[in-house]
Structure 1
């Protein structure tokens, strides 16, 4: 007597480009439709508890400014984004190419830079780093 075995087909794997496109489309819908219609954004729990700005405070407003092509105001909300974004691209490329020592050093540098930025933007001497609106 023979047994018939059924093998389930492998699920299709989506390419990273497809996943990135879905993520970008979702983000665009959030920033261009949800936020303007509802005014509901993601609050910063760190700022709510401590009153201090974290390294990410102002990123939502910066992205909204970028979507309106207001580069200056986006920079005022969170200048760290403009520094870390190109550095992260370099990190991703070097990590993908197997340059582990360089990519790990770059990631450590970005982490230290983020922590320093988050700390400094809360002191009066560095108030220009806080997320603010142009006068």
Structure 2
């Protein structure tokens, strides 16, 4: 899909440039800088408490998805795969003007996220914790 640059409004041009730049910077970091210089993004919550937050493993999920390794990405943080379709539902409801229903869906996403964050730190649910490489 080609973008007709001349027909875009200045706002969309700016958004497109920022989005492209941030995506390119992220790919450069994850695929070049991080492996070469052994850089990683530490989780401040995990560093302070020793517990896993709901977002622990997201950087490794993105790296695994860039390598087309869906199974490994799921092992790092399965919550993202659960929240993605729910977020699409939330966005559609919001765009259609169903604010009340979209608020319920947002509440469900919040409960799932908090529950996931708690459960992945309980030994019985240790399989929810991100896999250590």
Task: Compute the TM-score of the two structures, normalised by the length of structure 1.
Answer: 0.81
Cα drift, residue 70 of structure 1:
1.2
Q: Distance in 1 between matches of 2:87 and 2:21?
A: 20
Q: Return structure 1 stretches of 4+ with deviation > 6 angstroms.
A: none
Cα drift, residue 28 of structure 1:
2.1
Cα drift, residue 29 of structure 1:
2.3
Q: Distance in 2 between matches of 1:38 and 1:96?
A: 43
* Of 8, 14, 23, the match for 2:12: 14
Q: Distance in 2 between matches of 1:96 and 1:23?
A: 26
Change (3 A) 1:93 1:30: farther
- Give unpaired runs (5+ residues) of structure 1: 1-10
- Give unpaired runs (5+ residues) of structure 2: 1-8
Q: Distance in 1 between matches of 2:86 and 2:98?
A: 15
Q: CA RMSD in A?
A: 2.1
Change (3 A) 1:132 1:39: same
Residue in 2 aligned with 1:3? Answer: none
User: After superposition, what is the alpha-carbon deviation per residue over 1:35-59, rounded to whole angstroms, capped at 9, x for unaligned?
Assistant: 2222212110000010000000011
Cα drift, residue 15 of structure 1:
5.6
Task: Compute the TM-score of the two structures, normalised by the length of structure 2.
Answer: 0.82
Larger Rg: 1
The alignment partner of 1:69 has SS state of coil
The count of residues paired between Structure 1 and Structure 2 equals: 124
Q: Distance in 2 between matches of 1:83 and 1:21?
A: 26
Change (3 A) 1:129 1:85: same
Residue in 1 aligned with 2:36? Answer: 37
- Higher share in helix: 2
Report which structure shows greater RCO (CA 8 Å, sep ≥6). 1
Q: Distance in 2 between matches of 1:46 and 1:77?
A: 17
